[in-house]
Amino acid sequence: MTRFREILKDRSFLCLWLGQLVSNFGDRLNQMALVALVYQHKPGSDMALAKLIAFTIIPVFLIGPIAGAWVDRLNKKNIMIISDILRGFLVLLIPLFIAMKLMPLVYITIFIIFSISRFFIPSKMAIIPDIVPKEKLLIANSLQDTTHMIGNVVGLVVAGLIVNIPFIGAIGGFYIDAASFFVSASLIAMIVRKKFVKEVRGDIIATKKALGNSLKISIFAEVKEGWRYIVKHERMHFVTWVFFLFLAGIGAISCVIIVFIQQAFGNATRDLGFLGMCMVVGLFLGTLLYGRFAQKIRKEKAIFASFIMTGLAIMLFAAVVKDYPNFLLSTLLSAFIGFAASPIMCSATTMTHEFIPENARGRIFSSIEAVIHLSFMVFMFIAAYAAKFIDRSWIITAVGTVYFLAGIIGIILKKRQV
């Protein structure tokens, strides 16, 4: 904890961390509100959930790679501030469209919001090494992960309860989410050392110059460069495969497990929120411990061990919820899944920071984002379709089995290399 306090003394990192903490809290309210809407319109439909989630993922492929190239050209802090402000105003439109029963516009708005996020996410990832020294990257990434976790812990359980309160309901979640974006933008603005107006003016000039045909060609060349770097450097192969495998599994169970839990416990979001909260608590505790002691453990070894434990935990969770849906036992298993999975993303992200050059972070992170989100979406639809013919517990068990075997095989291959 001492090392965490030390890095939080850095004003810029503290503002970034707090901004994401607030924003992620609002995002969970948004997420649970959307799940509740789908449950109200098409209860028990894995495919309806998959279609909704797809609108949040497609921007990764259409916008993400180009956004990464722009991130490398413009001021990352300004990109984050403007992205938060735009997303906040767009979220405010969702309740209006719901009231007018214009659901297609709700989906389009969600698509635009997540398109803007494609500029925000690589900016956030790329700016961390500029804020903290290299020797503190691992601890910084551990704390950055807790931004998601703490926001998720509070947001999931509160959202699960809010959507069941008549005078607040799902609509209230959207308003709170919008407010969280504005608070996040204010906190990130504190990171900026120069006057915001001057920096924005400089970015506008850079953007105008970038609109020339020659620079357009350059941007697409840089997108290709990001992919070439991943393909060319062998150390990035491992990181990319870790991201791909982990997100493919998460995608496969993302919709299936929501309906699985809804049917097991008989409500739309209340128990789903509590189970999600327990999983995030496990992630939080696991990340804290890993960030504290990880310097003594090789990152590859930690990733393989994490896959093994996560796989076993997922298989046990599926068996318990199906045959003995005890809520207390299910919450404990959810927490253990989060605890076991915590080293995977933190280690892979840190390894990426260590491997890639400073002037290509945006492009490479965007390329990785495209890879992992493609795996997420493809396996999400495969699993949602398979749920029509296969018991959902077997789909969840299959994901756990793949994780377990991946960890075992990884350890064996690593020993042979040594």
Q: What is the pTM assigned to this prediction? A: 0.69
For residue 52, what are the CA distances in angstroms to 110, 340, 380?
Answer: 9, 28, 11
For residue 198, what are the CA distances in angstroms to 3, 78, 185, 192, 205?
Answer: 35, 11, 17, 11, 11
Res 262: pLDDT: 80
Cα of first residue to Cα of last residue in the chain, in angstroms, is 34
Q: Which residues of the chain have pLDDT under 50?
A: 2, 193-201, 204, 207-208, 210-219
Res 90: pLDDT: 94
Q: Give the three-class secondary structure for 418.
A: coil
Res 308: pLDDT: 96
Res 43: pLDDT: 72
Fold that domain 2-417 belongs to in CATH: Growth Hormone; Chain: A; (1.20.1250)
Range 395-417 burial, b when 16+ CB lie within 10 A, else e: bbbbbbebbbebbeebbeeeeee
**DSSP-assigned states of every residue in 266-295:** T-SSHHHHHHHHHHHHHHHHHHHHHHHHGG
Interatomic CA distance for residues 116 and 20, integer angstroms: 16
Interatomic CA distance for residues 42 and 339, integer angstroms: 33
Res 382: pLDDT: 93
Q: Give the three-class secondary structure for 121.
A: helix
pLDDT digits (tens, 9 = 90+) for 325-350: 888 899 899 999 999 998 898 888 78
Res 211: pLDDT: 44
For residue 111, what are the CA distances in angstroms to 87, 108, 408?
Answer: 11, 5, 38
Interatomic CA distance for residues 81 and 159, integer angstroms: 25
**Token couple for 192:** 């900026």
Nearest to 366 by CA among 72, 134, 85: 72
Res 341: pLDDT: 92
Res 272: pLDDT: 77
For residue 323, what are the CA distances in angstroms to 35, 133, 263, 330?
Answer: 25, 50, 13, 11
Res 93: pLDDT: 93
Sorted by where each begins, the domain ranges of the chain are: 2-417
Res 145: pLDDT: 67
User: Can you state the angle between helices 103-131 and 327-355, rounded to 10 degrees?
Assistant: 50
Res 326: pLDDT: 83
Res 225: pLDDT: 60
